[in-house]
């Protein structure tokens, strides 16, 4: 496994702690699971940006608007994919929502979030590769 994938996974775990805390808090207070999943994913994204930029992808360049915009688009798409996945797995299939959260998060991370961040958000210039 590559360092970046593992480090991004660990950083994602930290962001996921915040994500799950928001999910649980909202669901336990009556919010629909899909809405709670979306809000949690967005909250975790803020933490993930800093950890991914400086640790997982070792990006020491200054933060710029285009990078934040690309990260924001990836984060919103991730949140939407999580909401859809949670609706399917937790609501339609009846899997307990915390178990569904783990399954959905792992799948979305491997298939979408990590590849998108590596290619779109924290890509290295051609001369740095």
Amino acid 125: pLDDT = 66
| Digit-coded pLDDT (tens) for 85-100 | 999 999 999 999 989 9
Q: What is the pTM of this model?
A: 0.75
Mutual angle of helices 3-28 and 33-51, in 10-degree steps: 140
Predicted local confidence at residue 123, as pLDDT:
82
The region of weakest confidence among 8-17, 25-34, 62-71 is: 8-17
Tokens for 32? 């629909």
| Cα distance between residue 126 and residue 116, in whole Å | 17
């Amino acid at each position: 496994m590559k360092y970046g994938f593992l480090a991004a996974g660990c950083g994602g775990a930290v962001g996921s702690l915040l994500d799950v805390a928001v999910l649980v808090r909202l669901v336990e207070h009556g919010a629909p699971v899909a809405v709670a999943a979306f809000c949690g994913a967005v909250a975790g994204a803020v933490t993930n940006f800093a950890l991914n930029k400086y640790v997982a992808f070792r990006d020491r360049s200054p933060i710029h608007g285009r990078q934040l915009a690309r990260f924001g688009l990836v984060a919103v798409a991730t949140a939407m994919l999580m909401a859809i996945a949670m609706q399917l797995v937790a609501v339609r299939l009846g899997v307990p929502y915390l178990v569904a959260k783990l399954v959905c998060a792992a799948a979305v991370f491997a298939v979408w979030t990590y590849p998108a961040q590596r290619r779109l958000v924290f890509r290295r210039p051609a001369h740095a590769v």
